[in-house]
Amino acid sequence: MATLARTENAASSPESEAADAYDAVGERYRTYADGDGCKPFDFSSRYSFADREIWQRIDAALIGLRTSGRTLLKVVDAGCGPGTWLLRVVLRARALGFQSIEAQGFDISSAMIDLAREEARTTTGGIPEASFIVCDIEQGLAAHRDVAADLVLCLYGVLNHLPVQRHNAVATELARATAGSLLVTARSVGSLPSIFVAGVEDALDFQHDHQRDRLCVHLKDGRHIEFGTHLFSASELKSLFADEGQVAELIGLDLFHGRFAPDTRWNPPMIADQDFNDALVRLEPLWACDARFIDRAAHVLLHLKRGVRGL
Ligand SMILES: C[S@@+](CC[C@H](N)C(=O)[O-])C[C@H]1O[C@@H](n2cnc3c(N)ncnc32)[C@H](O)[C@@H]1O
């Protein structure tokens, strides 16, 4: 069985393991995360319900800024992966009439940054407002301390891959880099099993050791990858950010869709039944903040507002 070079050689750090894991899957991660075809606003992945929920909040933040008269926008995406979220933000910001847009994404995986740069270059007309760099999250965020961003994103597995000892420092840097809204999501402690870098169907087998926060995956292509993966409870995520600003929202994303929505790509096919799908849509907001359900969502979303008094 082939094993990735850096996991074979003893001295791997959590950061190099995460980089290796995402470098190994490359384009496959993008298809998993963004759906087949990966069109910016398709929202066709298995997390499309969660993606739409996140997008609504991003869109509301952008509209709020424009409505208040802002024409300049600065946005940062920490752990941007293939750049899809940042490029969406730029396209939408242009459409809303922002005249100057500064967008930066960074990620520890060079393969993810290559994908993001390629997408920014090949999107019709190019997206020169967006820059992408390879770096660790704290280094990337520290560069924005002096001129903080209107909107900072840290979405999906980024925080999950950091060692617990780094959580407080990274939360502080995320907050410092934010002048307006920070949107963070993390995979929750009661979510369905995931291998993060691709769909579970791409794994021959995998094991998540929750005591050691380690995920070991044998991919079907023969590769073996191991990396740190810590799952969050909603209260744990909230406590990381509670002193950094106003926690405007704490909500479970996708309690029902990932588990139950009939889709031949990942759930058992069922007879397409609009009533069933409509019921899932109605159920989500009823239970998304309920303490008995929130930790069973696929992801927990936290919206932190900076510069707002009264926690
Ligand atoms: C599940 S992906 C999410 C990517 C992107 N945010 C999205 O929503 O598509 C997790 C990302 O976190 C990145 N990552 C993990 N540890 C990191 C670190 N210490 N610094 C920066 N990026 C990191 C990985 O390389 C990967 O691209």
Beta strands (DSSP E) in the chain are: 72-78, 100-107, 130-134, 149-154, 178-187, 203-209, 214-219, 224-228, 246-253, 299-305
State the distance from the centre of ligand 1 to the C-alpha of 310, rounded, in angstroms.
Answer: 31
Q: Give the model's pLDDT for residue 11.
A: 62
User: Is it the case that residue 46 has pLDDT exceeding 90?
Assistant: no
Of residues 10 and 252, more confidence is placed in 252
Tokens representing 296 are 């069973």
Q: For residue 73, what are the β-bridge partners? A: 101
The pLDDT value recorded for residue 277 is 85
The residues, ordered by sequence, that sit 6+ positions from 9 with a Cβ below 8 Å of its Cβ are none
* CA 22 to centroid of ligand 1, rounded, Å: 8
Query: What top-level class would CATH report for the domain 5-305?
Result: alpha beta
Q: CA-CA distance, 121 to 2, in Å (whole number)?
A: 33
CA distances from 4 to 25, 31, 89, 162, 222 (A): 11, 21, 34, 20, 10
Q: Establish whether residue 50 lines the binding site of ligand 1, counting it when its CB lies within 6 angstroms of any ligand atom.
A: no
Pocket flag, ligand 1, residue 80 (CB < 6 Å): yes
**Is residue 132 lining ligand 1, measured as CB closer than 6 Å?**
no
pLDDT-derived band at 38, boundaries 50, 70, 90: low
For residue 269, the SS3 value is coil
Residue 160: which of 148, 145, 170 has the closest Cα?
Answer: 170
Torsion angle (degrees, nearest 10) of CA 244, 245, 248, 249: 0
At 92-106, the pLDDT tens digits run 999 999 999 999 999
Confidence of residue 233 (pLDDT cuts 50, 70, 90): very high
Report how far residue 212's alpha carbon sits from residue 17's, in angstroms, rounded to the nearest whole number: 15
Are 261 and 270 spatial neighbours (Cβ–Cβ below 8 Å)? no
Contact 4, 221 (CB under 8 A): no
pLDDT in the model for residue 93 = 98
Would you list the domain boundaries of the chain?
A: 5-305
Task: Band the pLDDT of 15: cuts 50, 70, 90.
Answer: very high
Q: Looking at the predicted structure, is the pLDDT value of residue 4 above 60?
A: no
Q: How far from chain centre, in Å, is Cα 123?
A: 21
Average pLDDT, integer, range 4-33: 81
Percent of the chain with pLDDT over 70: 94
Average pLDDT (256-276) is 79
- Residues 249, 137, 220: CA angle, nearest 5 degrees: 95
The token pair at 242 is 């509670």
pLDDT of residue 45: 84
Averaged pLDDT for residues 210-223: 96
- What mean pLDDT, rounded, does the chain reach? 92
Q: Please name which of 24, 23, 65 lies closest in space to residue 150, comparing C-alpha atoms.
A: 65
Paired tokens of 69: 């008269």
Q: Is 95 helix (H, G, I), strand (E, B) or coil?
A: helix
pLDDT of residue 260: 87
Assess whether the C-beta atom of 206 lies below 6 angstroms from ligand 1.
Answer: no
Name the nearest CA neighbour of 73 among 96, 52, 57, 54.
Answer: 96
pLDDT higher for 65 or 5? 65
Atom of ligand 1 nearest to the CA of 30: 9
Q: pLDDT band at residue 2, thresholds of 50, 70 and 90?
A: very low
Q: For ligand 1, say whether the CB of 250 is within 6 Å of any of its atoms.
A: no
pLDDT in tens, 129-173: 999 999 999 999 999 999 999 999 999 999 999 999 999 999 999
- Nearest protein Cα to ligand 1, atom 7: 81
Query: If you ran DSSP here, which 8-state letter would residue 299 be given?
Result: E
Quick check: 137 and 143 in contact, CB under 8 A?
no
Q: To which residue do tokens 């752990």 refer?
A: 79
Q: Is 18 in the pocket of ligand 1 (CB under 6 A)?
A: yes
Asked if residue 9 has pLDDT above 90, the reply is no
> At 310, is the pLDDT very low, low, confident or very high (cuts 50, 70, 90)?
very low
Helix 27-34 vs helix 14-25: crossing angle, to nearest 10 = 80
At 3, is the pLDDT very low, low, confident or very high (cuts 50, 70, 90)?
very low
First to last CA, the chain: 52
Is the per-residue pLDDT at 176 higher than 60?
A: yes
The Å distance, Cα 223 to ligand 1 centre, comes to 20
Say yes or no to pLDDT of 19 above 90. Answer: yes
Whole-model pTM?
Answer: 0.94
| Percentage of the chain lying above the pLDDT 90 cut | 82
**188 secondary structure, DSSP code:** B
In terms of C-beta density within 10 A (0-12 exposed, 13-18 middle, 19 or more buried), how is residue 216 classed?
middle
The pLDDT of residue 1 is 38
With a 6 A CB cut-off, is 79 part of the ligand 1 pocket?
yes
